[in-house]
Amino acid sequence: MQTVGKLMKVFVTRRIPQEGMKILTTAGVCEVSLWDSDEPVPRADLLKGVQGAHGILCLLSDKIDAEVLDAAGPNLKVISTLSVGFDHLAIDEIKKRGIRVGYTPDVLTDATAELTVALLLATARRLPEGVEEVKNGGWSSWKPLWLCGYGLSGSTVGVIGLGRIGMAIARRLMPFGVKRLLYSGRTAKANAADVNGEFVSLDTLVSESDFIVVSCSLTPETQGLCDKAFFSKMKNTAVFVNSSRGAVVNQEDLYEALTSGQIAAAGLDVTTPEPLPTNHPLLTLKNCVVLPHIGSATYSTRGVMGALSAQNLLGGLQGTDMPSELTF
């Protein structure tokens, strides 16, 4: 573990973009202990590292629960996560203890929407299969019936969770000639009119969509939302894409739907667990494209996320405004 700086104690659970580290180390308000690795901090080291901390800067792979809060002790004022998703934080416990939370909405919306569209197209038009065939000699000639997929033109797209990212995905998909844009969620959205979005029940969305994109947050209500019953209502020609959180999907049921021909294909940027073991059944399927949770992975986005998470942390430490505070 590497220590830089002084004053209030901060534990940073991983190497983060230098834009963030620079803000923390030059602020003159905190002493930073860094888990100086690109790999996750082992649980025992996390529990040790947070002891006496006034602030924790964590990642989506760190489970911040009562045990971690107890280990940190009464000094803890702020938890800043380098993510927009906060399902890894025990929000009720955090709230009970009066600890503030910072997160990184908006700054990663474009990058994540862009990646989701790329994944949808790669899955629907079978890009990884095509690349593989070029390399392995399977490309014998131009063939009328070979490597055909599904196009967006004239299609119905269903977005589950038309929030910041869901809306950005919808905006990017409409110019491909999408005919209908359906969305589901807890509430209808005023800005849905920008994409001619129709607020429908989940059942309607699932049964009428040619492409289903999951972009909701992971909550007790959305956990396991995409299960056997869900896939059984999808069209046999439909493509399923998830860039929210792996736990929204029941992966055994997805495997069954993909192998039985219940649905055409799936593209996943998120899985359970992460990383997905290399011998996982989903990785044996040609009609399943799995990416390693890279939705927000552009250099500039990660730099801005780093800076924002550092500014959030400083705001929490000093008891001032945080640029992006989670209100609960």
Q: Which does 60 bind (CB under 5 to 8 A by kind): ligand DGY, ligand NDP, none?
A: ligand DGY
Of the candidate residues 296, 311, 312, 324, the single one contacting ligand DGY (CB under 6 A): 296
Question: To 10 degrees, what angle do helices 164-173 and 109-124 make?
Answer: 50
208 touches 156 (CB < 8 A): yes
Closer by beta carbon to ligand NDP, 30 or else 270? 270
Structural tokens at position 136: 């392995």
306 binds ligand DGY (CB under 6 A): no
CA distance 285 to 248: 20
270 binds ligand NDP (CB under 6 A): yes
Angle at 265 between CA 261 and CA 271, to 5 degrees: 115
Of the candidate residues 60, 115, 234, 238, the single one contacting ligand DGY (CB under 6 A): 60
Of the candidate residues 13, 80, 244, 301, the single one contacting ligand NDP (CB under 6 A): 244
Q: What is the CA radius of gyration of the chain?
A: 22
84 binds ligand DGY (CB under 6 A): yes
Mask: binding to ligand NDP, 173-192, rule CB under 6 A, as x and -?
-----------xxxx-----
Q: Among the candidate windows 49-57, 79-87, 232-240, 309-317, which touches ligand DGY by CB under 6 A?
A: 79-87
Q: Which does 186 bind (CB under 5 to 8 A by kind): ligand DGY, ligand NDP, none?
A: ligand NDP
What is the DSSP track for 208-221?
H-SEEEE-PPP-TT
Known catalytic membership, residue 280: no
322 binds ligand DGY (CB under 6 A): no
Nearest to 16 by CA among 1, 38, 31, 32: 38
- Beta bridge partners, 157, equal 181, 211
Closer by beta carbon to ligand NDP, 221 or else 252? 221
Burial class (CB in 10 A: 0-12, 13-18, 19+), 278: exposed
57 binds ligand DGY (CB under 6 A): no
CA distance 37 to 139: 42
Of the candidate residues 17, 158, 161, 197, the single one contacting ligand NDP (CB under 6 A): 161
216 binds ligand DGY (CB under 6 A): no
- Give, as one character, the DSSP assignment of residue 126: T
CA distance 201 to 206: 9
108 binds ligand NDP (CB under 6 A): yes
Residues in touch with ligand DGY (CB under 6 A): 60, 83-85, 108, 295-296
The catalytic residue positions are 293
